[in-house]
């Protein structure tokens, strides 16, 4: 079983840029997602660039699992060089500025050029708390070849009294990234356009999907606001 792990490090975050501008009192004019000075992936969280957390986790994954091959798609030279230093295949993709579908498309095409894979695992670069253990669970499910789509999820169980005073357990399930697709679904992913993400394809196959439950809800959190990245 081989998995192409596509690290989506394009850094398109209009929400981040607008929030940072609002706090600094700047006007909206002239602020673009591609501006490296303001892009969230290059901002530091606890002294380290945001993108580097995921990159280091993927490097550890590759060291332990040779069935995983990493493809980094970015718009930034710093990320390109950092991935290259770790022996990863990395590609500059200016088209990513047009929407997430362009990042997905480039990742798939580079993986297809590199060889045949059973699964495509998409990892977002703005989830610094994502653990190696969670990524390994995706590979474990991939080995079974049971599910066409696998998504990360967080399950929260609460106990609360109902109207009769009886304690009842209530479960909440939150889905998030990463998401893994069987390689045979590449055509559906390549058909995405603009800012459409893989969730559209996931919904089509939701009834047959598998879940990887994270230990901490924070693993699913993406960092979009300047004060969350210590700026």
pLDDT digits (tens, 9 = 90+) for 171-190: 778 899 999 999 999 999 99
- pLDDT given at position 166: 75
Cα 62 from Cα 76, distance rounded (Å): 22
**Helices 50-64 and 132-144: angle between axes, nearest 10 degrees:** 50
% of the chain with per-residue pLDDT over 70: 84
Neighbours of 74 (CB within 10 A): 25
| Percent of the chain predicted with pLDDT > 90 | 67
pLDDT of res. 168: 76
Name which of 152, 155, 99 is nearest 130 in CA terms: 152
Give the per-residue pLDDT at 164: 74
pLDDT at 67 over 70: yes
Q: What is the pLDDT of residues 81-135, one digit of tens each?
A: 999 999 999 999 999 889 999 999 999 999 999 999 999 999 999 999 999 999 9
pLDDT at residue 19 above 70?
no
Q: Minimum mean pLDDT among 120-124, 159-163, 192-196: which range? A: 159-163
Higher pLDDT, 18 or 136: 136
pLDDT reported for residue 139: 98
The per-residue pLDDT for 224 is 58
Q: Please check the confidence at residue 169 and state whether its pLDDT lies above 50.
A: yes
Paired tokens of 79:
């990320």
pLDDT category, 199, cuts 50, 70, 90? confident
The pLDDT score that the predictor gives to residue 102 is 95
Average pLDDT of the residues of the chain: 85
Helices 77-85, 50-64: axis angle to 10 degrees equals 30
Q: Please report the pLDDT score of residue 223 as a whole number.
A: 75
Alpha carbon distance 65, 142 (integer Å): 13
Residue 218: strand, helix, or coil: helix
**Does residue 36 register a pLDDT over 60?**
no
Structural domains of the chain, with CATH: 3-229 (3.90.550.10)
Q: Is the pLDDT reported for residue 227 higher than 80?
A: no
Contact criterion met (CB below 8 Å) for 128 and 224: no
What pLDDT, on a 0 to 100 scale, did the predictor assign at position 12? 65
Mean pLDDT of 46-53: 95
| Contacting residues for 229 by C-beta, under 8 A, at least 6 apart | 40, 43, 44, 45, 50, 223
């Amino acid at each position: 079983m081989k998995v192409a792990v596509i690290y989506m490090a394009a850094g398109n975050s209009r929400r981040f840029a607008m929030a940072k501008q609002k706090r600094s009192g700047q006007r909206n004019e002239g602020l673009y997602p591609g501006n490296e000075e303001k892009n969230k992936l290059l901002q530091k969280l606890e002294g380290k660039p945001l993108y580097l957390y995921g990159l280091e986790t993927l490097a550890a994954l590759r060291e332990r699992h040779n069935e995983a091959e990493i493809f980094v798609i970015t718009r930034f030279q710093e990320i390109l060089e950092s991935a290259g230093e770790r022996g990863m295949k990395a590609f500059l993709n200016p088209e990513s500025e047009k929407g997430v579908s362009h990042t997905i498309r480039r990742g798939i095409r580079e993986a297809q050029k590199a060889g045949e894979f059973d699964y495509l695992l998409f990892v977002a670069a703005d989830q610094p708390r994502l653990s190696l253990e969670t990524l390994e669970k995706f590979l474990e499910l991939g080995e079974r070849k049971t599910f066409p789509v696998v998504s990360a999820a967080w399950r929260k169980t609460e106990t609360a009294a109902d109207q009769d005073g009886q304690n009842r357990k209530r479960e909440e399930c939150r889905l998030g990234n990463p998401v893994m697709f069987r390689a045979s679904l590449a055509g559906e992913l390549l058909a995405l356009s603009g800012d459409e993400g893989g969730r559209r394809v996931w919904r089509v196959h939701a009834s047959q999907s598998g879940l990887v439950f994270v230990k901490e809800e924070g693993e699913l959190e993406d960092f979009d606001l300047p004060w969350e990245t210590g700026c």
